[in-house]
Structure 1
Amino acid sequence: MVLAAPPALRGIERVIVLDTETTGLQSYDKIITLAALCIEGNSLIQRSLYLCFDPRKDSHPQAEAVHGWDNWTTRFQDLFADHADDIHEWMQWGDKLVMHNAQYDMHYLQREMRKSERQPLAHPTFCTMERARGIWRGQKAGLDDCIARIGGKRRAGRHNALEDAFYTASLYLHFNGRHLSVPHVDKWPMPRNYKEPTPRHFRDTPPRSGGRRCFRRGLTGRRALDSSR
């Protein structure tokens, strides 16, 4: 593993902005999608990560209504453990992790690392939601509310981890005196390791399989991450 030089030596800070979509809001829920963008010197650079996973559990109906990943489709995706080593290494580029509700995202991310028998991420974190509460006291601090205050607006009806990572990056840069417009897209791209599910021939959804899996179709592991660099 090649570790990044400290910002004091580089003279510039590297920030990773990330977002997750999960099967629900309980402590035992799991990550379905993970998206991350990179900021270097208060500028967004072309280094990103967007992956999806089989959480090995069904989403709560309300969570599925938010993120749109149905329980049939997630059964055909990689496990988080299939990518844990490469995600951990990819994150070492950054000096700091930025999230909107960092406590929420870090809980699930660190839990997945632990269950994959990997070391936890040791980065310091910055929460744009907490900063928003300090700046806009007494007002709502949800991501959509904050983005609306700086002139943005969600274009998609359902939440998308990649879109939310862009919104969080825009908010973070706003707090640092910079402006970032979220790309205007009709449809956000699918995760790079996404696998098209087979047609649904069964009346009942088949059980999820356990353990580490390998697929012949699509990209897995380092190949999926390499294509995102």
Structure 2
Amino acid sequence: KTVMANPLPREPSADPDALAQLRQEAIDKQWSFGVTRLRSQYRMKPKPGAQPVSWVSSPYNRTKNPVYLVSDCVPLRPRQQRSAPTQKQCLARKITSLRSKLRATRFQESILLKQLLERAGRNICVLDTETTGLEAHDQIIELAIVDVAGTPLFTQRFKPTVSIHPKASEVHGIQIGALEHSDGWPTHHHTIQDILKNKTVAIFNADFDLAKLKATSAAFSLDTRWVDELDTLCVMQWAVDIFGATNRYGTISLANTVGECGLTFEGDAHSALADSLMTQRALLSMSELATPLELELDTLQRQKDAL
């Protein structure tokens, strides 16, 4: 008759003599265990051809697991001690980990953005507007343009021919009375064209601002074809590609983009100049997201090659 026992499991001893004593005790007392416990506690496995003395139902599914007498088992081969990894192997592992991290979407998009900006060089400017509202007939009442280094190239308020929607005023704080003595759009129409001509124009939510450039020009019966000819870059779309959308419209706000970049908003939010400067900073920040990892990867690769 097989005596079934269930002593409390113990960690396998690193001392060969203690492990041999543990095995002998189990054999003398005719203990039997499942394969997992035989391996983990006794460092043993069933002999070839050994027959289970019983079967135990698994508590997790309908399978039955075999139970073997310890006396019907043989010791496992001693575990081979792994030698400590060499410095070159450690560097290779770090390089592999960094390369895997750089394959993430945000870093791949950042690399593409950096390449785009490098091709454009300093021939980039950033534009932002404040408007009378969001409708098709609404016009630009404030416009700012800065270069890629953040230097203001143009900043101006305009007197519109339509009223300012109250909700728009709540956002940018501009009242119609404050524009009474401002220039009209036609006064600076050609100046704006000249600044933007032959440049890559970065705009947060480019579709909106481009539509307002056309609508404002059309309101004064001015040519709008120049707007369609602009080479533009939508910073908001790049932010969505890098950080992901943050609302049900599939977009992301400038404030959220600034936060994702780890930047602090400076100036009066929702003024054209402040927003254009923050757009410029966010654009450069997004283009440099992968740079620290690339520099670290280059350093590790040179260290590994030197060994």
Assess same fold via TM > 0.5. Answer: yes
Paired residue secondary structure (1:54): coil
Q: CA deviation at 1:134?
A: 1.4
Partner of 1:149: 260
Partner of 1:79: 184
Identity %: 26
1:16 pairs with 2:125: yes
Q: Which runs of 5+ in 2 are unaligned?
A: 1-118, 290-307
Which residue is 1:110 aligned to? 214
Count, aligned residues: 164
User: Residue 132 in 1 paired to residue 214 in 2?
Assistant: no
Match of 2:174, SS state, is coil
Verify: 1:53 aligned to 2:158, yes or no: yes
Instruction: Tell me the C-alpha RMSD between the 2 structures.
Output: 2.1
Contact 1:144 1:153 in 2 (8 A): no
Higher relative contact order (CA 8 A, sep 6+): 1
Equivalent position SS for 1:83: helix
Could you say which residue in structure 2 is the equivalent of 1:173? 284
Query: TM-score, normalising length from structure 2?
Result: 0.50
Choose the corresponding residue for 1:120, options 220, 226, 237. Answer: 226
TM-score by length of 1: 0.65
CA contact (8 A) 1:98 1:128 kept: yes
Unaligned runs of 5+ in 1: 1-9, 179-229
Match of 2:196 among 85, 91, 96: 91
For 2:258, give the aligned amino acid: I
Secondary structure of 1:98 counterpart: strand
Task: State how far apart, in whole Å, the 1-side matches of 2:280 and 2:272 are.
Answer: 12
Whether the aligned pair in 1 keeps the contact of 2:120 and 2:200 (CA below 8 Å) is: no
2:134 to 25, 33, 37: 25
How far 1:147 sits from its partner (Å)?
Answer: 0.2
Give the greater-gyration-radius structure (CA). 2
Contact 2:150/2:280, CA 8 A, preserved across alignment: no
- Equivalent in the alignment of 1:69: 174
Please state how far the C-alpha of 1:57 moved relative to its aligned partner: 1.7
- The CA distance in 1 between the partners of 2:152 and 2:239, in whole Å, is 26
Cα distance in 2 between the residues matched to 1:128 and 1:45: 15
Which one has a larger percent helix, Structure 1 or Structure 2?
A: 2
Distance across 1 between alignment mates of 2:226 and 2:154: 18
